[in-house]
Amino acid sequence: MAATLLILRATGLLHKADRDQAAAASPAVMLHAGQNTAATGGSLGGGHLADRAGARLVFAAGAAAYNAGYVIFAIGPRAPWLLLAGFLPAGTGIGFAETAESIMVAHLLPEKAAR
């Protein structure tokens, strides 16, 4: 649902007098694809960082990145490249947080259940 709301917010910000809703939705969906790419990179980088610094630090960094992205959406820029500056940290935050969550849950499982 969060992805749908981000696309809706980006579409609303890109909608101008010279651009209708349908024309604004296309770049919004492409921006979301950039977020998914950033989430993939965040997962890889987050796993690497978690091996060295721990999952809690990665989770905190993910929350910070996610919040930074959402601050940009709250400000409401109308330029696609500025919206990309919101989608990328939000995606990185998702990648970091989901990786850290999986690691923390795996550490809670008993040794016999993990096999």
Beta bridge partners of 88: none
Distance CA 65, CA 80 (A): 19
What pLDDT shows up at residue 1? Answer: 65
**Residue 8 is assigned to a structural domain of this protein:** no
**Residue 54 is assigned to a structural domain of this protein:** yes
Q: Model confidence at 88, in pLDDT bands (50, 70, 90)?
A: very high
Task: Give residue for tokens 């969906």.
Answer: 29
**Residue 70 is assigned to a structural domain of this protein:** yes
For Cα atoms 111, 113, 59, give the angle at the middle one, nearest 5 degrees. Answer: 75
Per the structure, the count of domains in the chain is 1
Which range marks the domain in which residue 46 is found? Answer: 32-108
What pLDDT shows up at residue 3? Answer: 83
**Residue 114 is assigned to a structural domain of this protein:** no
**Residue 95 is assigned to a structural domain of this protein:** yes
**Residue 11 is assigned to a structural domain of this protein:** no
Task: Give residue for tokens 């500025």.
Answer: 82
109: left (phi over 0), alpha (psi -120 to 50) or beta: beta
- Name the pTM for this structure: 0.86
